[in-house]
Chains A and B, each alone.
Chain A
């Protein structure tokens, strides 16, 4: 512990004067002494945690939305037996907590002979969860397609697939993209519970640091701020992806 502290002074009366030299972010407010000096030591780990969480989000988001498109398609056209299957899948995953799904996949499935590593279980749970939500979100978008549009496309002799892709899916995605983006952000924030199955994402790193330096409050406070920044980033990224993939792309 360095002997010199820099004091931060939010309330002069409460703060004890301490020596001014030193650039370390450490300040004293009555009994509890905030100490963020651990940050440089663990910066690398925190960065890894951020990358891990982003990775979970990117893979979960991409595959989840793809499943969502497939699910919405089968539900809308009621293709047997997929329409029915997707209905059960959506209800099951939307009505149980992510944490419990994670526990079932990680601790439960091995007794059926399916062993997944922490990161595999985390990704699987993310994908399945987002898949269920995006199925519902995209389906709502598809249902809003005006019948006249489809009839018009029919009369232009477009195939069923062309109609689905250009007349139904693209406008539907454009309509529901904000909702999908929110869902991806919510799932990203929810992924913090993956720390419970030893997937080494950001909250895992926070818990790890906390178990080494015992600075619970500072560590969690910092991590919360990191998540906040990540939420901002993911929302922006979704906005850009949406613009690139759905809005701007020239029609063939």
Chain B
């Protein structure tokens, strides 16, 4: 019952890896949607949402993900909400991702030359029209590479959720390391798992960046 064959280790790690992938995808998609909302508030014309968005970004970029997760996991329960580990992990990563993506995308919007704003204003476009037809399309082109690059960070960040007990790749790894007492083997396999998930992404991000620079 207690003996783990190499296949047992790999098989269980694959299950954990699938959860890591799922969590990353959820965090990236939901975080992207939230991040877009935060971005629009952050670069909008109204002061109050702009200040709020700025605080939101500062808060999630200025504190450790681990403590955000702890606070969510144990904090929300105090208010009568039962938050299981997977939900706390998903929610925490979504908030974290949205703050970083909003800030990355803001940089891209600001990188659109001022002349574009002025020219589109001359065409009597409203703020919304300027955004929709002139600024965002150009910003999006700039944003693709760093966004894919940040996806790598999201995948890696999911490792932290193991500490609140979400059994993704790292947690599965430490459970097996304890059952087999072969930490070097197990953690090497875990690292390999992350590498397999992350390397193609960061490679892709790099080639996108190169193409973008070549095009300009």
Contacts and interface: CB of A to CB of B under 8 A. Distances in A.
Interface of A: 32, 91-92, 94-101, 103-104, 107-109, 111-112, 185, 189-193, 196, 203, 206, 216-217, 220-221, 223-224, 227-228, 231-232
Interface stretch (B2-10, B63-71, B110-118, B122-130): B63-71
Contact of B198 (A95, A99, A223): A95
B199 interface: yes
Contacts of A189: 62-65
B105 to A, nearest CB: 16
25 contacts: A94-B198, A97-B156, A97-B158, A97-B159, A97-B160, A97-B170, A99-B170, A100-B187, A100-B194, A103-B170, A103-B177, A103-B183, A107-B184, A111-B182, A189-B64, A189-B65, A190-B65, A196-B163, A203-B64, A217-B78, A220-B70, A223-B67, A227-B62, A227-B63, A231-B63
Among B79, B173, B191, B195, residue most surrounded by chain A Cβ atoms (within 10 Å): B191
A193 B163 contact: yes
Contacts of A98: 156, 159
B191 A100 contact: yes
B157 interface: yes
Interface of chain B: mostly helix, strand, loop or mixed: helix
A206 to B, nearest CB: 8
Interface string B57-98: 001011111111011001100110000000000000000000
Interface in B129-153: 152
Interface residues of B, number: 39
Interface string B182-193: 111001101100
Interface of B: 59, 61-68, 70-71, 74-75, 78-79, 152, 156-160, 162-163, 170, 173-174, 177, 182-184, 187-188, 190-191, 194-195, 198-199, 202
Contacts of B70: 216, 220
A66 B63 CA distance: 26
Contacts of B152: 94-95
A190 B153 CA distance: 12
A176 B14 CA distance: 39
Contacts of B199: 91, 95
Given A96-B156, A189-B63, A189-B64, A108 B162 contact: no
B67 A192 contact: yes
Contacts of A190: 64-65
